[in-house]
Amino acid sequence: METRIAVLAIIVREAASIAALNELLHEYEDCVLGRMGIPCREQGFRIISVALQAPANRISALSGKIGRLEGITAKTVYAPQEDTK
């Protein structure tokens, strides 16, 4: 199956959901190229970006599961397909 490159942008507003978020990222660790987190403690949220390489359906599944967590927003940006060859 063809893989895609994507960046998953995650905004965490609910600290209680961080454990569930980390569990999902661990479950999909075979897709993760790298991740970066920025704590914005004064503003009360965290920003996480996750670089992914996987089939589009796996990336979409991960993004959807993360987006359903309480207090978390997730959006995915895909690289153009010609960039992944």
In tens, the pLDDT along 45-78 reads: 999 999 999 999 999 999 999 999 999 999 999 9
Closest to 59 in 3D by CA, of 77, 47, 72, 80: 77
At 85, the pLDDT band (50, 70, 90 cuts) reads: low
Listed in sequence order, the residues at least 6 apart from 28 whose beta carbon sits closer than 8 Å to its beta carbon are 52, 54, 58, 62
Q: What CATH number has the domain bearing residue 70?
A: 3.30.70.1150
Contact 76, 58 (CB under 8 A): no
User: By residue range, what is the domain housing residue 39?
Assistant: 4-84
pTM: 0.89
69: DSSP letter: S
How many folded domains does the chain comprise? 1
Closest to 35 in 3D by CA, of 64, 72, 65, 6: 6
Q: Which residue has the tokens 């987006």?
A: 67
